[in-house]
C-alpha cells in the first residue's frame, strides 16, 4: 500500500506526464550538432524541406568549439534541410533529413573538405539518436 506521501508524488508525476503529452512536448524532435572539425562553428540553419528561406542562424550568440555539441530542440517531427557554414564561407547542406526524435549530425574535418568541393550532401553523417540509420543521398 502506498503511503500518502508516495501517492501525492505519483499523482504529481502522472500530472506532469499528461501535461507534456497534451502540449506536444513529448513529440518534439531534436537535432544535435557535434563539432569535431578542429575549428569554431558559428552558423547553423534548419529549414523545413524545400523551404524558400533558411530562417535565422540557430547559433546566434553561440560559438560551438571543436569537440563540443549544440542542440536545436523543439522541432516538429518531419523533413528538414540542414546547413552548417564554416569559415571562410564554406558550407555543408543536407537536404531531406527525416527527423522524428533525436538526430546527431557529426561534423568532421572531412566534412569541411567536402564542403569546399561541394560534395558535402553525399556524406552528411546524419544518424538516428536511437537506432543507427543512415539517410541515403538520392543524387547518385
The model's pTM? 0.66
Per the structure block, which three cell numbers stand in for 124? 552528411
Residue 72: predicted pLDDT? 95
Per the structure block, which three cell numbers stand in for 103? 538526430
> What's the rounded Cα separation, in Å, for the pair 108 and 114?
10
Model pLDDT for residues 45-83, shown as the tens digit of each residue:
999 987 888 989 999 889 999 999 999 999 999 999 999
> Would the pLDDT of 35 be above 80?
yes
Q: Which residues contact 90 (CB under 8 A, 6 or more apart)?
A: 112, 115, 116
Model pLDDT for residues 88-121, shown as the tens digit of each residue:
778 888 888 889 888 889 999 888 777 777 766 6
> What's the rounded Cα separation, in Å, for the pair 21 and 16?
9
Cβ(84)–Cβ(44) under 8 Å? yes
Domains of the chain: 27-128 (2.60.40)
Amino acid at each position: 500500500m502506498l503511503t500518502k506521501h508516495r501517492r501525492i508524488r505519483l499523482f504529481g508525476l502522472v500530472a506532469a506526464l499528461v501535461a507534456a503529452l497534451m502540449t506536444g512536448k513529448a513529440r518534439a524532435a531534436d537535432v544535435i550538432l557535434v563539432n569535431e572539425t578542429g575549428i569554431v562553428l558559428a552558423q547553423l540553419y534548419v529549414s523545413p524541406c524545400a523551404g524558400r528561406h533558411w530562417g535565422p542562424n540557430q547559433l546566434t550568440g553561440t560559438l560551438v568549439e571543436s569537440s563540443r555539441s549544440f542542440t536545436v530542440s523543439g522541432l516538429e517531427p518531419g523533413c528538414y534541410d540542414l546547413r552548417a557554414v564554416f569559415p571562410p564561407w564554406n558550407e555543408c547542406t543536407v537536404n531531406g533529413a527525416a527527423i522524428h526524435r533525436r538526430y546527431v549530425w557529426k561534423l568532421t574535418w572531412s566534412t569541411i573538405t567536402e564542403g569546399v568541393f561541394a560534395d558535402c550532401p553525399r556524406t552528411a553523417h546524419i544518424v538516428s539518436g536511437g537506432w543507427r540509420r543512415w539517410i541515403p543521398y538520392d543524387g547518385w
